[in-house]
Chains A and B, each alone.
Chain A
Amino acid sequence: MSQFLLITLVALPFVCSIIASMLPANARNAEAWLAGGVAVAGMASTLWFYPQVASGEVLRHEIAWVPSLGLNIILRLDGFAWLFALLITGVGFLVVLYARYYMSPKDPVPRFFAFFLAFMGSMLGLVTAGNLVQMVIFWELTSITSFLLIAYWTHKAQARDGARMALTVTGLGGLALFASVLLLGHIVGSYDLDVVLASGNRIRDHALYVPALLLLLLGALTKSAQFPFQFWLPHAMAAPTPVSAYLHSATMVKAGVFLLVRFWPVMAGTEPWFWIVTFAGLTTLILGAYAAIFQHDMKGLLAYSTISHLGLITTLLGMGSRLAAVAAIFHIANHATFKASLFMAAGIIDHETGTRDLRRLSGLIRFMPFTATLAMVASAAMAGVPLLNGFLSKEMFFAETAIEDPNPFVNLVLPIGATIAGMFSVVYSLRFVFGVFFGPAPQGLDRVPHEPPPLMRRPIEVLVLLCLVVGIMPAVTIAPFLDTAVFAVLGRDIPYYNLSVWHGFNLPLVMSAVALVGGAVLYAGLHRHLEAGIDGPPLIRHLQGQRIFERVLVTVSWKWARALEAVLGTRRLQVQIFLLVSAACLAAAVPLGQGMGPFDLRLDGVDPVFALLWAVGIACAVATAHQAKFHRLVALVLMGGTGLVTCVTFVWFSAPDLALTQLLVEIVTTVLILLGLRWLPKRLLTAEDAPVDAADRGRAVGALLRRYRDLLLAVIAGSGMAIVSYAVMTRPAPDGISRFFLENAYALGGGTNVVNVLLVDFRGFDTLGEVAVLGIVALTVFALLRRFRPAEDSIDKPEQQRIQNAYDEVRPERKVGDTVDEYMLVSSVIMQWLFPVIIVLAVYLFVRGHDLPGGGFAAGVTMSIAFVLQYMAGGTRWVEERLRILPVKWIATGLLLSAATGAASWLFGYPFLTSAFQYADLPWIGRVPMASALFFDLGVFALVVGATVLILIALAHQSVRAPKAARRPAGEGTS
């Protein structure tokens, strides 16, 4: 039961995300019910786990993933992950409720809730990941889904930029985290989180500890918007407010500190950890709070405050003491509650007044007293006022910083910095409250503000109530849950801590008092400056992370890329191919340079017939290369000659199947290219070939040099191939996998032709893929040719036909077209008579294929030749009046039949494409082997027929359908 629930907890949001994306665009209520239902279900199952988790048990569920690499998908829920799961689902539910009222009917809600649910699932997956690699995958998923959420209002440039920045920064961090995880896996020898958490000493003592730590921190600090990566978070405020409330209070940015806490037991406590994490945290804490004071946008203020509070958590984690870790975990929960409610309140104010600018807002307490009260309580919690939850964790923070330490930094800077940051947080909280709710009534608003619908306010009420309850009675509310979470991180020896409001009169209390009073005084002093409405915080106004970030991005992705392209790139295919072939030659030269061992040149056993054969073949090949420019038909015929010699070579060296297929494919290829020739331009001599003036002559020399260069490269490539193949052929063959196939072809595959058994049985899945490719290519060709526009000069009938028609025209007894029909009369009669013969041959080749040379491929090509010959003999119209071939149906049938044969083995409980065979007694024919592979081969056959015929016919049709000419490219004029 608990395993099932654990899987559902992670999987349900993703499943419902897909459902949500398919609901109609205006289904606001249905979407909210769905998303809310998922959140409640998640919360319910999380709560159901509590008794088990509270007893200190770690729930684990393993699913085999890549067992050979020792990678399993592990769902793992301990107390700390439990706390996070509760925050994610609980705050998630409240945000859904809020978003139902926040989103306008014009917004495409399916997209919002689909992304929202996917994000929730990613967060839950992250916190319950029990495998480091899995954790990184979900980590990246949170980056991507949060990108989609931030950019939800895609029409806003601000939203797009903010989302892109968030993705770039957190995505880069994610890559660093991945590297770190790989290092950790290498150090520990396992990616299992439990194993990693149990090997703390091993990790800290390892030589790779510092790199792993740095990469890990890069991931965590970017995600949690810590200095110097804090700049992305304020820009992410372009997101809809529910998104901000969710991402920047309880979830996304908390993932960074989640990671720090998760690895705290194994990574913390060292010098590098202390200095980096504490420094980054303290800097962020103070800078964030300072910048928050001077924001004019409500959400901007909250964003910087979030940065600052995350800095507080990071500082606590950096200090390395157990009590500080407890405080950090406590503050994670506290911050989530008050910050989510504040974001929601800001959204309501924005919604009701149409602005978030603190300079324009004031005196709203008169219009929305209830919301104002809630927001004030939450702000007080943010400022750390006693009797609210923020006070408790801040007090613990002060207590930690105030501990005596021999190190002057720790002893002085930490407590003073903490107090100053506390002061700042009081200032910005006061600014938020006084700026929005007090003072004179606002001027120049678009509408008169009033209280939002009660249900929109409800989430804030719940959260503020939590702030109060936890703040007043911590011991009975939060304490047991905190204990559970802390136990999961720190293990057995939890330090003694006392969650009570009154600790007596001590140093932390003095620090709190100084912060509160000092903050109030500072706010009074700064009031005038803030009223003036100057943009940006003083002193650090010009320190804009965003600008640096953009400059770096432009440099790397534009300037450097352009420079690199200018140096290395070309848009000319010839040059690209030249570079590619050269690179291939160089790459091959590296291993060959190390020597190839003994190289014995053997001339014995040369058959003169074979030598003569290849003398012809080689001559054909070279002549093809020579003639291909001006004499296309000649080149094509010569190429066919080479193909035939290749075919004979296959026969000679015991590969009848290859020879057969090669011969047949040779025929269809020739027909194919012949059909294409008609659409190619006449090749005329260009200036390079017959120079007239000096400039032409110069170009001709250039072309000649290029040709020699290409010739050199071609000769190098050819010699390399010759040497390598000779070297391999003269070595004894290793005992590879072939023996297995030869021994078992009959026993396991039921056929004696091993090549065919390999294709349709042992490697049937590959063949399925290959025929699918063939079908896709045929359909692509068909689709490309449907809108085929030949060049203008190819529209007319070919010259030969024009001459033949002119001959008919001058003779009254002849019809135009007679000569075209007549001059192929004898051959066309033969071709028509051959139709049934070739079909019989195809069937014969197909049936014998399993035991003798033949098979689906060869038979399919043969069959298509039968069809194509009819086209050649009678012409397109003549054939199509008599024969409907429907090649697309052949393709579909073939693919379905092959796939269905494969799938049929599932019915018998075997894996895909397991074949079975037995003998059947047929009347007159006798015992014949019947293998299920035969049906698979039949599918291959049908598909090959369909694909080949479709390609050839589609091309042949172009001559019949009198296509329109393509528009000439601009600048060349039209005629």
Chain B
Amino acid sequence: MELIVATAIGVLTASGVWLLLRPRTFQVIIGLSLVSYAVNLFIFSMGRLRTAAVPVVNNPAADPASYADPVPQALVLTAIVIGFAMTALFLVVLLAARGLTGTDHVDGRER
């Protein structure tokens, strides 16, 4: 299972980075989203993959080792919401830039 998740992280990163390096703003914004999926999965996977171990502690006496690690989950949860904010800000900036420069090239002008 770890192999699949690792491969997924790798492919998502590669696709995202490829798009980040492209010249059109839309490509870059999609690339950023893909990279943030990869990063979120990466951070999440740092808590190791555990099935059927939801960190909801109904029995206080239970062994803490029987739950998945809640810390990366909490980190990723806010990262998802902040990621949305970042996408929104970037989208608006690129729309404004497109209006001002007349092009959707990342440098503000066609080569």
Contacts and interface: CB of A to CB of B under 8 A. Distances in A.
A581 B3 CA distance: 24
Interface stretch (A222-230, A314-322, A491-499, A724-732): A724-732
B53 to A, nearest CB: 5
Given A581-B21, A629-B24, A770-B81, A618 B99 contact: no
Contact of A773 (B55, B85, B99): B85
Given A610-B1, A665-B83, A966-B100, A658 B76 contact: yes
Contact of A681 (B37, B42, B98): B98
B15 A777 contact: no
A766 B78 contact: yes
Interface string A756-796: 00110001001100100110011011001100111110100
Contacts of A541: none
Nearest to B40: A646
Contacts of B81: 661, 665, 770, 774, 857, 861, 944
Contacts of B7: 614, 618, 722
B8 to A, nearest CB: 5
A578 B84 CA distance: 24
Nearest to A635: B30
B92 A781 contact: yes
Contact of A726 (B6, B16, B60, B87): B6
A718 B9 CA distance: 7
A958 to B, nearest CB: 8
A305 B76 CA distance: 66
Nearest to A963: B99
Interface in A621-672: 621-622, 624-625, 628-629, 632, 635-636, 639, 642-643, 645-646, 649-650, 652-658, 661-662, 665, 668-669, 672
A596 interface: no
Contact of A639 (B20, B30, B67, B68): B30
Interface in A713-762: 713-715, 717-719, 721-723, 725-726, 728-730, 733, 736-739, 741-743, 745-747, 752-755, 758-759
A592 B97 CA distance: 40
A597 interface: no
A680 B26 contact: yes
A730 B74 contact: no
Interface residues of B, number: 90
- Which among A617, A621, A951 has the greatest number of chain B C-beta atoms within 10 A? A621
User: Interface residue tally of chain A, by bracket?
Assistant: 35 or more
Given A578-B21, A654-B54, A679 B10 contact: no
A625 B82 contact: no
Given A679-B95, A784-B93, A729 B6 contact: yes
Given A611-B4, A625-B18, A725-B9, A742 B84 contact: no
Contacts of B21: 574, 577-578, 581, 710, 713-714
Given A624-B30, A710-B21, A754-B55, A717 B77 contact: no
A655 B44 CA distance: 9
B73 A601 contact: no
Contacts of A534: none
Nearest to B91: A676
Nearest to B71: A738
Contacts of A662: 40, 80
Contact of B17 (A718, A736, A758): A718
Rank and list the top 10 A-B pairs by shortest CB-CB distance, nearest first: A722-B10, A718-B14, A726-B6, A742-B64, A714-B18, A625-B15, A777-B85, A754-B70, A654-B68, A758-B74
